[in-house]
Amino acid sequence: MPTESQPGPLNEPWRVKAKQLEEMAVAARLRHEEDQRRREEERVEAEAAERELWQAAQEQQERRRRLSEEKAREIRQREEQRFEELKRQELSRAEREREEATKRRQEQEEWEQAIRRRFEEEAQQLRDARENEDQLQDQMKDQMREESQKQQDEREERRKREAEKEARHRARRQAEVERRRAEEAARAASSSPPPKRADGYGESPSAPRGPDVPPKQPPPPQPNFSRPPRGGPSGPARSRPPFGVPPPVQVPSTSSPASSSGANAELQAAKSAAMRQMLSLKQHPGLEARQKGFKDLLRAWHPDKNPKSTEIATAVFQMLQAERGRILES
């Protein structure tokens, strides 16, 4: 039997090489099987790890989903609570605004009613003042008419008395003339020269005169129909208007009741005009326009702009200052 060192059919090189190759193939097959087994184990481990990771991911996703649902629920609850709170606040704010609007409307209506009452009272006072002034003027006209009628009656009575006095004077003069003529006729009849009269109306003895020639008489005194002035002989004469013509209007003094009533009437008229201007200005919707109009109104009623009626302008200006808040409220 051949040994390994001895050449033989069993120890041929190709057989040795084939054996080596077979051994190498077996080793390779074992290594391949080992590698397959290891890869299978790794695949199983990888699948197990992947399955664990997937399960962990699913669990985490489920946890996240639950957390997101819980968070969304909490957020939704908070949003609902906030919405409810905002809704309550909005309702309360709307209620307050409605109450404030109602209160402002009531105040506005009360103010307008007060202004209307004040305007009506001032208009009534103005009408009363005008009626009083008209009554006073009517009384003054009646007094002037009565005084004119009385003066006319006095003039007529005085003319009648003067006419009667003149008639009596003429009658006396006529009787005196007749008496003198009778005396002169008696003297001529007795052929005695008539003596010279002490009053100077007779003629001198050297101037003979027939019985039919009347003696010279002094001219009769002319009656004075002129009326002395009312203030006396030394006072100035006052001209009076004819009957039926009203006397000229005079400016009454500040101490007389007519002047005080006239001043009150002018003040009431000025306040009424200012009230009407304020009411028309109140109806304007724009605040800036109301402010501008109110400034113009104050400027128009300023006492420095009205030097001829300072007291009335001052009263109206103070009234406008007191009503500033009502006019300029938003």
> 23-55: per-residue pLDDT in tens?
888 888 888 888 888 888 888 888 888 888 888
Least confident of 1-10, 85-94, 144-153, 282-291: 1-10
CA atoms within 13 A on the CB side of 102: 6
> 99-133: per-residue pLDDT in tens?
999 999 999 889 988 888 888 888 888 888 888 88
**pTM for the whole structure:** 0.28
DSSP 8-state code for residue 286: -
Q: Please give, one letter per residue, the 3-state secondary structure of 197-253.
A: CCCCCCCCCCCCCCCCCCCCCCCCCCCCCCCCCCCCCCCCCCCCCCCCCCCCCCCCC
Question: Average pLDDT, stretch 291-295?
Answer: 87
Token pair in block for residue 74: 């909490």
Token pair in block for residue 281: 């200005």
Is the backbone of residue 200 left (phi > 0), alpha (psi -120 to 50) or beta?
A: left
DSSP 8-state code for residue 190: T
- Cα 217 off chain centre by: 88
Report whether pLDDT(222) > 50.
no
